[in-house]
Chain A
Amino acid sequence: MAILKLEEVVKQYNKHLAVDKVSFQVPEGSIFGLLGPNGAGKTSIIRIITTIIRADTGKVFFNGELLNNNHPSKIGYMPEERGLYKKMKVGDHLIYLARLKGLNKSDAKESIEHWMEKFEIMDWWSKKVNELSKGMQQKIQFISTVIHKPPLLILDEPFSGLDPINTNLIKSEIENLRESGTSIIFSTHRMEQVEEICEHIVLIDKGQNVLEGKVKDIKNTYKKNLFKIGVDGELPANLESQLPVVQKESNAIIVKLKESEDSNALLNTFLKLPLKITSFNEILPSLNEIFIQQVES
């Protein structure tokens, strides 16, 4: 079941086509990567999902329903361009944002206290936002996004400006939320994070959907049948004549097999050699490589 489904969504500003017939779906309870280079149309897509702007044509379904004005309260959105009212007190600020999401005062307070205790920042309650460091403000921003327990969370570059410790903290919270059933759209152009976190991705470029699917499947689709064999001992000099060697290192060798060839046969060939095999791996392309390849092609 998909919590979110986009069908042929189009958005045009003046003469600039920002979103060009984009379709994809976000499976419920998954972490979904919305990827693309800067200016690809990611933010426009997110703004359409959060009803900040409306699509010119196409349909968006939230939990099977056509997107309407009741849905924003079920979405937690942390924009890339984010901020807080600098002169407000942290507690008041969070209550205000929670109430705008439809929580009553006592529920809001309870939820905020839960999160602030979790992050061990209860003593910030009466501090003004501008007394906090940027990293601290990011934590408050994160809390404000999840206060109302939204079934769908949209995080646009959530780790920008965070130090490694806080990045890990937020990362583990994202994982916890997913485990408790929250679906998460994670928008970024930093591929190593995507690889680590996301199960599904969609790659947007120039407003178009260029790639979509499970990370594992995509990697399999784009793999080049490269195998790396780690060895201990002298490699025979005439190895290139027997095998399609791509690269040779002092104690490893990379071989490219043809589509029809079997990796077991390759391993068998090596077993017959007077060598000690230390490792045998298939080299899968990184999302970064796929990303660059797709965007450049």
Chain B
Amino acid sequence: MDKLILIIKREYLTRVKRRSFILVTLLTPLAFAVFFIVVGFIFSYESDDEMVVAVIDEGGLLAEKRQIRDERRLFFKEVHYSLDSARKVVENGEFVGVLQIPPLQNLMDRSQTVYYYSDNQLPLDIQFRIQDKISRLIREYKIDSLDIEKAQLEALETKVLLEPEPLREDGEDASRLTGAISAGIGAVMGFVMYLTIFIYGMMIMRSVMEEKTNRIVEVMISSVKPFQLMLGKIIGVGGVGLTQVCIWAIFIPLISLLVNLLFGFNSTMPELDAGAEIDPEDAEALIALAYKEISNLNWWMILPLFIFYFLGGYFLYSSLFAAVGSAMGDDLGEGQSLTIPITIPVILAIYIAMKAIQAPNSSLAVFSSIFPLFAPIVMPTRLAFNPPVWEIVASVIVVALSSVFFVWLSGRIYRVGILMYGKKVSFREIFRWMFYKG
């Protein structure tokens, strides 16, 4: 036991003290910040110039109450000259282009073409926005011309919200956001699992390989059992992973917040505020509902279970990576093919997890939750959807037993593999190692 602690301590401390670790751990949140700044910049980037479009309203659509709405950097000005003189004004640079709106032939027409004269290509989003604005203008014009009561017309359009309700009265009430929020949380959890398994699993594999090629391993196992060495490494590297993830969990949101405050990017996309269809009150209500939903989730169940799956999945896969590392020779490229049987289930699991977010109770999702190699990634994505208790229990038992089993099995491969120098091993051989005596 003492020796195991010594090994864990060494594995942890040598990594955490390494300059590259400190750099990666601190630079990743900064990289995120830079990423946010760049993305924010890209999204907020629009043409620097103000665009003023001349409008020739041939059909008399514009009226005092019916205007084309201006917006940031895009202005419309009605002109009363002929098309030719308007073109000249554009050439002089007063306007970027001329928008010619021909008269409506028939109020019942459902399509109308307007013309834009300019030498400059109109950016696609501006084109869509102008189309949208003219469409709204024509709609107003038609309402007025057909003498329709606007309120009545608007009453025709009914927004429908589907509100899920429990079958029994004492059942838990879900709101229309439950599904989306559960999916979001599920996706985050699944993704964290996937990344952890890959990043730290690979770290363990490389480290086992290094010990073998360094030839330190035989010195080590004359003092400790190979299993202790493997387990110490897995726990030590796991600690490194936890340290890193915790630092990121604190710093990434913090730095993002700081960046937001400093640079003040409007986090909403321009299309959204241009559309402005969502009532600000509605938006507030939505956010309040989302918060309520998130706090309504059964975190006392989700968090401990997530930690359980995190550890189970980590032990299961990292021990397999350790076993593969022990079987590798000095040539990393040659041994790479040995990792395929581990990477394939991980990748399959993340695909199944994505599917499970959409259909959390499908038979594929249920099966994958009790299949040892998929469960640690798939089950966490389903936790927020309140899966049946028996499925959670079955899955927990499977993951607990299989992680112990895989650590044991990997230990058997590892103890033989680390002493095999200089020859290429096949899967058949690795399989045989499991049954070696002693």
Chain A positions within 8 Å of B, measured between CB atoms, are: 13-14, 47, 50, 52-56, 72-73, 75, 77-79, 81-88, 96-97, 99-101, 141, 144
Quote the shortest CB–CB distance from A50 to chain B (angstroms). Answer: 5
Q: Does B216 contact A (CB under 8 A)?
A: yes
Looking at B217-225, B249-257, B372-380, the stretch in contact with chain A turns out to be B217-225
**A144 and B6: CB pair below 8 A?**
no
Q: A56-B438, A100-B6 given as contacts; is B223 within 8 A of A83 (CB)?
A: no
**B221 and A85: CB pair below 8 A?**
no
Which residues in B have their C-beta under 8 angstroms from that of A101?
223
Closest to B421 in A: A81
**B438 and A14: CB pair below 8 A?**
no
Quote the shortest CB–CB distance from B329 to chain A (angstroms). Answer: 13
Query: Which of B216, B222, B224 has the most chain A CB atoms inside 10 A of its CB?
Result: B222
**A85 and B214: CB pair below 8 A?**
yes
Chain B positions within 8 Å of A, measured between CB atoms, are: 3, 6-7, 10, 14, 18, 214-216, 218-224, 419, 421, 432, 436-438
**B222 and A83: CB pair below 8 A?**
no
Contact of B438 among A55, A78, A86 (CB under 8 A): A55
A96 CA to B218 CA, complexed, in Å:
15
Quote the shortest CB–CB distance from B430 to chain A (angstroms). Answer: 13
**B214 and A83: CB pair below 8 A?**
yes
Q: A52-B222, A100-B223 given as contacts; is B6 within 8 A of A82 (CB)?
A: no
Q: A86-B214, A100-B3 given as contacts; is B219 within 8 A of A79 (CB)?
A: yes
Quote the shortest CB–CB distance from B330 to chain A (angstroms). Answer: 12
**A82 and B223: CB pair below 8 A?**
no
Q: A81-B215, A81-B421 given as contacts; is B222 within 8 A of A99 (CB)?
A: no
**A72 and B223: CB pair below 8 A?**
yes
A161 CA to B95 CA, complexed, in Å:
84
**A88 and B14: CB pair below 8 A?**
yes
Q: A14-B432, A100-B6 given as contacts; is B438 within 8 A of A83 (CB)?
A: no
A97 CA to B6 CA, complexed, in Å:
10
**B214 and A53: CB pair below 8 A?**
no
Quote the shortest CB–CB distance from B99 to chain A (angstroms). Answer: 69
A53 CA to B226 CA, complexed, in Å:
10
Quote the shortest CB–CB distance from B325 to chain A (angstroms). Answer: 16
Quote the shortest CB–CB distance from B230 to chain A (angstroms). Answer: 14
A224 CA to B220 CA, complexed, in Å:
46
Which residues in A have their C-beta under 8 angstroms from that of B215?
79, 81-83
Given contacts A81-B421, A100-B220, A100-B223, 20 further A-B contacts (CB under 8 A): A50-B222, A52-B218, A53-B419, A55-B438, A72-B222, A73-B223, A79-B215, A79-B218, A79-B222, A81-B215, A82-B215, A82-B216, A82-B219, A83-B216, A84-B216, A85-B14, A86-B214, A87-B18, A88-B14, A96-B6
